[in-house]
Amino acid sequence: MDPRREALRRRLAELGFDDMRVAQVGPVSPAPLRDWLAAGRHADMAWMERTAEKRLDPGLVLPGARSVIMLGVNYWPGVLRQDGPVWARYALHEDYHDTMKPALVAAGRVLEELYGVTGEDYRYYVDTGPVLERGWAAKAGLGFAGKNAMLISRRHGNWLFLASILTRLELAPDAPVRRQQSGFADPGLLCGKCTRCLDACPTQAFAAPGVVDSRRCISYLTIEHKGVIPREMRAGIGRHIYGCDVCLEVCPWNRFAQEGRRLLLAARFELPQLTLADLLALTPESFATIFRKTAIKRLKLAGLLRNACVVAGNSGGPDLLPALVRLAEHPLPVVRAHAVWAVRRLAGERATRMLNDARNSEADAAVMMEYQGEA
């Protein structure tokens, strides 16, 4: 093996990346992404549609790209109790988008040093770039495609953030995981007869093995979706305040997962200690202080209050009613809508009286709808 490759692997591990594999850039079968978009499974994520051509052709992202270096960072936090509102585990760290960027800058410098390339010869991304990260990671053998749509590593289970460096360098490709030749073309090939993730999804979001319909996915509804959450989806959200790990948690491949080194991810394990009452009482100031360095800041206070109202409606008790009634008069309609729904769910017939003042001053048509029909 080229000694530079070993040096690259070692230096990237020192930077905090837990795995590194290389895929050769080649044609990407367009059907899975195109079919997914055509069926509307990206919901309101219009950016997925806008960037589709680039996702299917790395040459449009970096002309002359020959290799993709796929990187994984293990974020398994170990066993965590979440008795109240439940957070996706990835959110219980400082925002990985922010913490991985400096490490990727450093990784680029390592490439320059070892291979004599310049900054023009590579481009790095984590999550937000127009790259089909799971497909390339599968092709590079970083893991394989599970029926839960996740890239599953045999070393880390599915608790792996992905990042990519597209480069014009011709690097020797690594082999995909045995029996899986084309990345995500065959999701679930290494799952055998297991269907645990498909069965466990609380909102039946899998349109097929490996294919998530975002419109039904709690992760989408609580993180990416900006407006009112469709009423029929709210009960299925249960106690999920931000994101969802159900289809990840049940996967038996996680038995090999070891707690992450956290070189790139400072833990924020205090978040599960926040009660629903704490969340419903958040102010712009307390929100900024608590969530400043986390991915949750992107949701903004209104989004988190919206989610907290849904969780309260699903799992709260009468003690939360005063806070919810107050939120029914919040300045933002999206918060009012979900607060009204939660009060009606928790208070039953008493809701009409409790919401009287809020209803009398309501001018927003969407919020008015929440006073009607079944909660």
| Side chain identity, residue 365 | A
Rounded to a whole number of angstroms, the minimum distance from the CB of residue 279 to ligand B12 is 18
Three-state secondary structure call for residue 357: helix
Per DSSP, the residues of 174-205 read PPPSTT--SGGGSTTTTTTT--HHHHH-TT--
Rounded to a whole number of angstroms, the minimum distance from the CB of residue 35 to ligand B12 is 8
Residues 135 and 326: their CA atoms lie apart, in Å, by 46
Q: Does 205 bind ligand SF4 (CB under 6 A)?
A: yes
Residues 101 and 107: their CA atoms lie apart, in Å, by 10
Which residue among the candidates 127, 199, 213, 245 is catalytic per the annotation? 127
Residue 303, contacted partner among ligand SF4, ligand B12, none, CB below 5-8 A by kind = none
Residues 187 and 316: their CA atoms lie apart, in Å, by 38
Closest alpha carbon to 12 in 65, 69, 60, 83: 69
Pattern 232-261, ligand B12, x by CB under 6 A: -----------xxx-xx-------------
Rounded to a whole number of angstroms, the minimum distance from the CB of residue 89 to ligand SF4 is 12
Pattern 123-162, ligand SF4, x by CB under 6 A: -----------------------xxx--------------
Residue 24, contacted partner among ligand SF4, ligand B12, none, CB below 5-8 A by kind = none
Cβ(340)–Cβ(329) below 8 Å? no
Residues 102 and 302: their CA atoms lie apart, in Å, by 30
Residue 295 CB partners (closer than 8 Å, separation 6+): 90, 91, 95, 96, 97
Considering only residues 117-176, where is the footprint of ligand B12 by CB under 6 A? 126-127, 129, 131-136, 139, 148-151, 158, 160-162
Cβ(25)–Cβ(66) below 8 Å? yes
Q: Does 210 bind ligand B12 (CB under 6 A)?
A: yes
Residue 182, contacted partner among ligand B12, ligand SF4, none, CB below 5-8 A by kind = ligand B12
**Backbone torsions φ then ψ of 265, nearest 5 degrees:** -135, 100
Known catalytic membership, residue 2 = no
Residues of this chain that bind ligand B12 (CB under 6 A): 28-29, 32-33, 36, 45, 48, 88, 90, 126-127, 129, 131-136, 139, 148-151, 158, 160-162, 182-185, 210-212, 214, 217, 219-220, 224, 243-245, 247-248
Active site amino acids: 127
